[in-house]
Structures are given as structure tokens and as C-alpha cells.
A and B are shown apart, each in its own frame.
Chain A
Amino acid sequence: MIDQQERARVGVSIRQATKSYGPFRALDDVSLDVAQGEFVSILGPSGSGKTTLLGILGGFVQPSAGSIWLGNRDITFEPPHKREIGIVFQNYALFPHMSVGENITFPLRARRLPKATWPDRLASALEMVELTGYENRKIHELSGGQRQRVALARAMIFEPGLILMDEPLSALDKQLRENMQIELKRLHKRLGSTIIYVTHDQREALTMSDRVAIMNRGKLVQVDTPERLHDHPANTFVARFIGEATLLPVQRESDSVVRLGQQALKTAHPMPAGSNLHLVVHSEKLVVADGSEPEASNRLSGTVTDTLYQGESIRVFVKLDDGGEMSFRLPSNHAGRALMKSPGEAITLALHPEDTVIVPEAG
């Protein structure tokens, strides 16, 4: 038996996990180390292998190759009920025939813990998710957010070293989802458990995680901090997936310069290998060139094609003289409006070399 202290501190190690269904590889040689106490999101489009990875971690899917470690314990062939991993399912998977209290104490009953210890643990679990006094409620009497929190309390009451969350917020409306994101983050800070969080919502992943693992077609494409992912995507797939980016094909000129049509663009970052290169332009990195921008900035000229008022900002679409279309944002304040152009007018935009990101085509 692992003692409490030890159990609360385990990290997870996925080593070269592969899952094949006939010739199809749902998971292709995935290795990922998650430190104890870390919050890592698995982000990817549907069919990217997220669910398979989660199934392998939970013990519901057997990997075709590779191994899974929880701390220094090889759990690859452990059945789910012996893994000590708390899982919060997409639709919460609460037991409809049990009350809130019975749901939350299910792990204690399953472990045959003495009944005398239940009330204290139930009370503190309910307090943790701010549902004190709800233990006798029926599941169908709860709102979506409350169900979510019951599922969370149930997955945490047995103090698992690792908690898996499978799109736990996807069934909630936007407002509630954002509140729960903050709540989850706070809870994670307080409890210090290791969390692997599966989502297809990039904003959610960026907001909550210490690191984000991007998956595509069964492979890990990039595992990085949210900042690194956003500012330095590994390839065109990540760049398209994260943020509001326009990708424009460019030609390599030298180790620090690319060419977009006739225009030479400097970058402050190492040039990726290969010939199939793309410039990643995030709309927030572009500014209108009015002479106040740094001298070293790259300049892109074009014609305004459309403007879109979006409340806090105005999105301006520009057709570049050297081909390609992109958009940038102006704050919808006085200074922003002063720089506004109408459709049809010429405009010059500045992009700092630090913000000039070149990525290779996704393989």
C-alpha cells in the first residue's frame, strides 16, 4: 500500500504508447511526462487520439505497445479499479439512482473503508466543491454546474494521485464554463493533485494549463507552455489551432530573412529547416505603421477590404499587395478609430521581427 503522502505526489509517465485498430493507429508512439502537481491539457480536434489516450490512462483501453507509469508503479496492465486514478467524465457519469452523498461516498464503499470515517470525508468533499448541505439531493435535482462539482468531489474523495478530466465543462453554457474554469484552477492550486485535462477548446486549454499537449492524428505535435504554444508554434497545424492566426506561404532568403512576394521580412527567431515555410501572423501582433513603430519592424502594405466591429475591438481585413489576406485588430477607442481606414483605402502594417514567426508545414 502506498502511503497518503506518496500517493498525493505521483507524476505520470506515458512511454511510447501506441494503439492500433487494424492498420489504423489511433495513438502513434506517444510519450509524455507529467510532473506531480502539474496541470496538463491534451488538446486536439476530434479523432486526434485524445480519447484513446485517456482510455489508456484510465485502463479502459489496452495499448498495443508502450507502458504507463504512475509514480514508480507500472500500471499498464492494472485493471481500472486498481489504478487509483480519479476520472471526471464528459457527462459526469453520476449514478442516477443514488443521492449526491451516495455518489460521492461510492469510492469509500468500494474500498470497504469503515463507515465511521465517511461522514467527515463526505463533509470535507462537499465543502471543497461548495455543495455543503446537498448530500441528500437527487442527481436530477441538480443544475449542470452542480453535477459537475459532484463528479469532481467523487473523483477526489479517495485522494487519487492523478485526476483525468474528459472535457468536463463542455456541457455547460459559456458563462458557467468560464466560472468553472477559474474554480477548477483554484482547486488544483489548493489540492496540488496532478491533473490531465482533455479538451478541444484551445482557449480553455491555454487558460488553465501549466502545459498543453497538442495532438493530431494520434501523435503529439507539441507539448509546451501556453505562451510558447501561442508565440512559437511548432508547425502550421499548431499555428492554425491556437489563436487567431493567418498563415502565409513564404520563401527562405537567408537564416533570418524570408520573402513574402517581393517583400523581405526579418525574423529574430531561428529559422526552421525545410523549404515549405509559412509566416504566422497573429492579428494582435500587427500594428498600423504610422511612423511611431520601431525602425526594425517589417512592413506589409495592402488594401483594406472590410471592417468588423466586435465590441472591444475592430477587426480589419487587409488584402496584401504581395498576395494573401490577413486581419488585425484595432482597439475600439479613440486612438484606434483615428487609425481606422475604410474599405478600399491603402494601409501599411508593421510587424516586429520578434513577432515574425516562421513555421514549417505540418508533416
Chain B
Amino acid sequence: MLLAPALLVVVVLLVLPLLWLAWQSVRQDGGFTLAHYERFLTDPVYWMTFLQTFRIAAIVTAMTVLLGYPVAYVAAGLSQRWSIVVLTMVLLPFWTSVLVRAYAWLILLQRNGIINSALTGSGLIDAPLKLVNNEFGTVMATIHILLPFMVLPLYATMKKIPGELTMAGASLGGSPLHVFLRVFLPLSLPGMIAGMVLVFVLTLGFYITPELLGGGRTYMVSMLVSRNIEVYNEWGAASSISVVLMVCVFLIFRLVSLLIPFERIMGTR
């Protein structure tokens, strides 16, 4: 009974629209059609967009692991007070709008932006680097925006690894590297997988960073959806793309949940 209000919200605001979306994608001129789905097999723009989206998601995921793991590791090893300071610093950008942060990156990375003028001014490079309006800029900003989603589950998992385990590893003759590789890393893996799933899935649906920083060269699935609606007014095509992306996300969750329980991905256990 207590679930009823929440259930109602989910059904009205999520399930029904999704069903409507699926319905849209198989209808044309009052009849049933699979034409929108056929385009995935015939139109190279479609599958190339999906490919680029997945590639960007993979790069962003890998980079957030590389950047986020050390941060989480340090934060988990610090005293309560200092780990709060580190985590606050991780979360601080989280409290500003994604749009603001994307524009901030644009200012930093553009042709005569801060980074390029600093580099040319110091004589390190002759001509400004192309840092934005391409995949690099998109990836950069997306990493920045999604980093907390990697750091937080990693931190939570690492915090739960008893300090005694690494002490035991050392007392049994394990060098710090050996203990890290054999004890700490395997035990932090659930947090890493959780973070990877979150970052990967969130990147798949990212819209603002490729739109603002991709310069038209970085074409991600979400942009395909918006073009279909804004430019071609093709709701059926847009819906089919959304449905396919959603199925992809479901499949990813399903596959990962074979590895670790779903509750752990969401950090509830």
C-alpha cells in the first residue's frame, strides 16, 4: 500500500510514455510498420552513429576508471574528515548545471581559449591545438561530468574493505603491490563494475556535450533522436532509435547482473 504513490508516478510518468514510444515506433499512417527498424540495417548513418556512441562510451568509461580509481583509493584511505573534503571536491562540480560545465569546457578548449593561449604564449606549440569541436572535446567534458559516478561507488566499496585485510596480506609476506593486486583490487572490483555500468550507460544517452563540443563531427545517438524530431519531424524514427538504445541498456544491465547482483550496481548493498 505504501508503494502505491511511487508506483503510480512510475507508471504514469515512465511506463506509459515508454509504451507510447514503442507504439509510435511501429506505426505509420495508421498502420503497423517495421520500416523504422529496417533503417538500422540499411542506413549507414544509423549504425555508424551507434558505433561512435559506443566507442565514446567505452573511452569515457576507461578514462573515468583510470582517473577515478586513484581518487577513490586516496579518499578511502584518509581519515573521515579529509575523505569528506576530497569527496566534496569530487561532488562540487556536480552541483552546477551540465550546460554550464559544457560551456566552461568550450571556453577552456576553444581555439583561442585559455589552454591554447597558455601553450602558444609559452612557446610550447606554434599553432593552437584542435581541442574542441571534435571527439576529444566531447570525451573530455563527458569524463568530467561523469567522474563522480565512478568515484562514489568505488569509494563506497573500498570503504567496506577492512583495513585488517591489507595488514594481514602484508604480515603474510605480500609486498604492497602484491597485496594491492591480490587483495584490494579484486575486492574493489564490484564498485568498479558498478561505476563502469553507470558511466557507460549515462554516456550512451549524453546529448549536451556532443552537441556543444562535438562541432557536428561527433554524432551520438541522442542527437540522432533530436534531429529526427527537430529537422524531419519524424516521431516514428526518433522513437525507434530510443527503443533500440533502451534495449541496449537493458542488455548491458542484464549481462552485468550475471557478474554482480543488481543491488550492488545501484549501491544499495
Chain A interface residues toward B at CB < 8 A? 58-60, 79-87, 89-91, 93-97, 106-107, 109-111, 154-155, 158
Contacts and interface: CB of A to CB of B under 8 A. Distances in A.
Given A106-B182, A109-B182, A89 B172 contact: no
Contacts of A79: 170
B21 interface: no
21 contacts: A58-B171, A59-B170, A60-B167, A80-B171, A81-B173, A81-B179, A85-B171, A89-B164, A91-B164, A93-B167, A93-B168, A95-B165, A95-B183, A97-B186, A106-B169, A106-B182, A107-B174, A110-B169, A110-B182, A155-B171, A158-B172
A82 B172 CA distance: 9
Contacts of A82: 173
A81 B166 CA distance: 11
**Residue of B162, B164, B171, B176 most packed against chain A (CB within 10 A):** B171
A95 B173 CA distance: 14
Given A80-B170, A96-B187, A97-B186, A110 B165 contact: no
B175 interface: yes
B178 interface: yes
Given A60-B170, A97-B187, 15 more contacts: A58-B171, A81-B171, A81-B175, A83-B171, A87-B168, A91-B162, A93-B164, A93-B165, A97-B186, A106-B172, A107-B173, A110-B182, A155-B171, A155-B172, A158-B172
**Residue of B170, B172, B178 most packed against chain A (CB within 10 A):** B172
Interface residues of B, number: 19
Contact of B174 (A84, A90, A94, A106): A106
B165 to A, nearest CB: 5
A154 B172 contact: yes
B172 to A, nearest CB: 4
Contacts of B168: 87, 89, 93-95
Nearest to B171: A87
Contacts of A83: 171
Interface in B135-179: 162, 164-165, 167-176, 178-179
Contacts of B171: 58-59, 80-81, 83, 85-87, 155
A266 B168 CA distance: 53
A81 B170 contact: yes
Contacts of B162: 91, 93
Contact of A110 (B167, B178, B186, B187): B178
A96 B183 CA distance: 9
Contacts of A84: 173
A110 B164 contact: no
Contacts of A80: 167, 170-171
B173 A110 contact: yes
A158 B170 CA distance: 13
A321 B246 CA distance: 88
B175 to A, nearest CB: 5
Contacts of B178: 81, 110
B169 to A, nearest CB: 7
Nearest to A83: B171
Contacts of B173: 81-82, 84, 107, 110-111, 158
Contacts of A109: 182
Contacts of B183: 95
Contacts of B186: 97
